[in-house]
A and B are shown apart, each in its own frame.
Chain A
Amino acid sequence: MSVRSASVENMTEPSSLTVDERRAAGEADEAALLADGPRADELVWARGLSKKFGEFTAVDGIDISVRRGEAFGFLGPNGAGKSSTMRMIGAVSPATDGRLRILGRDPGTDGPAIRARLGVVPQTDNLDQELTVRENLLIYGRYFGIPRAQIRARADELLDFVQLTDRADDLVEPLSGGMKRRLTIARSLINEPELLLLDEPTTGLDPQARHALWDRLFRLKQRGVTLVLTTHYMDEAEQLCDRLVVMDKGRIAAEGAPAELIGTYSTREVLELRFATGENESHADGLADLAERIEVLPDRLLLYTDDGDGAATAVVERGLRPASVLVRRSSLEDVFLRLTGRSLVE
């Protein structure tokens, strides 16, 4: 059975039910939805969550469940509504509509009690530039009401954890972007949070700094910290997330483990063909029969097939000579392309 037919099967309604039976089932679902709330192990639980800014709808009725110990991701392009969602989960931005429970509590009424148990790494660093690295941790701990002696001990451990011990008494300002991010992560851990929220944790960092950061996040995960992160990097989502939702225009387009999503929405392999400028589109029709699906991008053709090498050979046998030929495994980028018709990074 091919992956694509599996996905179709998943989406098919159970046709053996009568209309009345289905309507009854629907009403029962709705009743359950109204009555039910998060289970004890669901640290984040949202139903129909929406955020509007005036006429603009940033988040459009999403359902989420994040379980304890999980690394959960929001993958989507800029403007998909990820940051708005994160700010609602962080109990700093009120929801316009829907129900939201964080750590079993309502952020509308229990904001401070929720925030006491969260760690937040915002998209833009908001460290205190006039303070030293260590002072940033010391004062942040005070905002949680932790006694000074306890913060000092914890700050030393955290600086060690994010490898900034030797910069402890330097001002924040001259630190590199990667160091500032690591300090922001250390700061978010000062209250030993149960749930860590990371908004675009590695955007703007060079590859080396990104890998250093991922390594720290892996270690946190191993220690049992629940991670919720947003990213528009599919490799970051694949590396870090146990489960993720693909977000687009304020809605959730798909949900699952990275491998599951790839299995459901894409083929095993992708054959990338690059023809001379302007010729890509004209070759698409002639090659359509070689793949389950074909995507025409401005600079190349993507042929979705379980046997990339076989398809590549067939292309050459038809006498075509693309400027470049690449067979690769499917990625979340392909899932996004399939779901939205657009690329993640534009």
Chain B
Amino acid sequence: MAFGTQEAPSDADLPWSVRRSLPRGSQAVFEGKMLNYKGNWKGSVVSSVLEPVLFLAAMGISLGTLVDQGGRLDQGVDYLVFLAPGLLAATAMQTATFESTYPIMGALKWHKTFEGILSTPVKVRDLVTGHLLFILFRLVTTLAVFLAVMGAFGALEMPLGLLALPAAVLTGLAFAAPVSAFAAWVQNDAGFAALLRFGIVPMFLFSGTFFPVDQLPAVLQPVAYATPLWHGVSLTRGLSVGQLDPLLAMVNVGYLAVLLLVGVWLARRQFAKRLVI
């Protein structure tokens, strides 16, 4: 083993591994998260299959029978077909939020693994990108299973419905980035309870997942339309039901894309504030 070389340092003797590694920090961060995930992927696979089956059976079919007796929805589809894309987008939100709260705080504050990673050539922005790559992986696998279950329940208009997957993935990423910034901003996990109570849960209930937003009192409707989840649900539903309003879809994609980009910028800034001191 050759510890410590005797030559004077110069540009030329940079180890080849280093020259190659510099732009690939985010990939290594992604690998690290995958290595951690390896330990608990079985549990997450079971729940990612079971949850959509249970939700769609209980609410889509059982509750849906009651709803459908009361009259048709605007789209003229069964309640199951209406509900499924809402749950898909909401699952994206929940998966992304969960993976971007406690794991980020743990790596920043409790176990300080980010500090260890930053002692290597990896940069702060690689941490953010690598984290989002992992979220992307989690979203694609979880939501693909969800989409397959939707297909099995007959709640997917083909082939346009397949695009509901990228739509829901975008929804998830649009949450992951700003929530990561939030997780690096709050001092302790009490902030996460507030985020769930005043952000995620109300959005889950009132942003069009279970019923059209125009059922809300008129004063609350603009609030619901302003939430990111509504844009995710609107886009996902338009695709899976096969009734896409192109103009609205562009607004939805634009909203989510801007949220993602602003979130990435905030996360980089906030990570740097916590780690580069």
A interface list, Cβ under 8 A from B: 40-41, 43, 53, 68-69, 90, 92-94, 103-105, 111-113, 115-118, 120, 122, 124, 126-131, 135, 138-140, 142-147, 150, 154, 157, 161, 187, 189, 191-194, 220, 223-226
Q: Chain A residues near B112 (CB, 8 Å)?
A: 122, 124, 126
Q: How far is the CB of B18 from chain A (nearest CB, A)?
A: 4
**What is the bound-complex CA distance between A105 and B20, given in angstroms?**
19
B39 touches A130 (CB 8 A): yes
B36 touches A128 (CB 8 A): yes
A104 touches B10 (CB 8 A): yes
Instruction: Closest B residue to A160 by CB, please name it.
Output: B1
**What is the bound-complex CA distance between A223 and B2, given in angstroms?**
8
Contacts known (A115-B119, A194-B9); A224 close to B4, Cβ less than 8 A: yes
A41 touches B8 (CB 8 A): yes
Q: How far is the CB of A154 from chain B (nearest CB, A)?
A: 8
Q: How far is the CB of B180 from chain A (nearest CB, A)?
A: 19
Q: Chain B residues near A187 (CB, 8 Å)?
A: 116
B122 at the interface (CB under 8 A from A): yes
Contact of B115 among A115, A126, A147 (CB under 8 A): A126
Q: For residues 114 through 135 of chain B, which have their beta carbon under 8 Å from a beta carbon of chain A?
A: 115-123
28 contacts between A and B (CB under 8 A): A40-B9, A41-B8, A43-B9, A90-B119, A104-B9, A115-B119, A116-B21, A117-B9, A117-B15, A126-B111, A126-B116, A128-B36, A128-B111, A130-B36, A130-B39, A131-B36, A139-B28, A140-B120, A142-B31, A142-B32, A143-B117, A145-B18, A145-B121, A146-B21, A147-B17, A191-B120, A192-B3, A223-B1
B interface list, Cβ under 8 A from A: 1-6, 8-10, 14-15, 17-18, 20-22, 24-25, 28-29, 31-32, 35-36, 39, 111-113, 115-123, 275-277
A139 touches B35 (CB 8 A): yes
Q: Chain B residues near A115 (CB, 8 Å)?
A: 119-121
Q: Chain B residues near A161 (CB, 8 Å)?
A: 1
- CB-CB nearest 7 A-B residue pairs: A145-B21, A143-B120, A40-B8, A116-B18, A126-B116, A126-B112, A112-B121
Q: How far is the CB of B40 from chain A (nearest CB, A)?
A: 9
Q: Chain B residues near A126 (CB, 8 Å)?
A: 111-113, 115-116
Chief secondary structure at chain A's binding surface: loop
Instruction: Closest B residue to A120 by CB, please name it.
Output: B119
Which of B14, B18, B120 counts the most chain A CB atoms within 10 A?
B120
Q: Chain B residues near A105 (CB, 8 Å)?
A: 9
Contacts known (A92-B118, A126-B113, A130-B36); A143 close to B25, Cβ less than 8 A: yes
Instruction: Closest A residue to B277 by CB, please name it.
Output: A93
**What is the bound-complex CA distance between A224 and B2, given in angstroms?**
9
Q: Chain B residues near A138 (CB, 8 Å)?
A: 35
**What is the bound-complex CA distance between A120 and B31, given in angstroms?**
21
Q: Chain B residues near A131 (CB, 8 Å)?
A: 35-36
**What is the bound-complex CA distance between A146 and B20, given in angstroms?**
9
Q: How far is the CB of A43 from chain B (nearest CB, A)?
A: 7
A193 touches B3 (CB 8 A): yes
B120 touches A116 (CB 8 A): yes
Contacts known (A120-B119, A127-B116); A144 close to B18, Cβ less than 8 A: yes
Given A43-B9, A92-B115, 14 further pairs, Cβ under 8 A: A41-B8, A104-B10, A116-B22, A126-B112, A139-B32, A142-B32, A143-B28, A143-B29, A143-B121, A146-B21, A191-B120, A193-B3, A194-B4, A224-B3
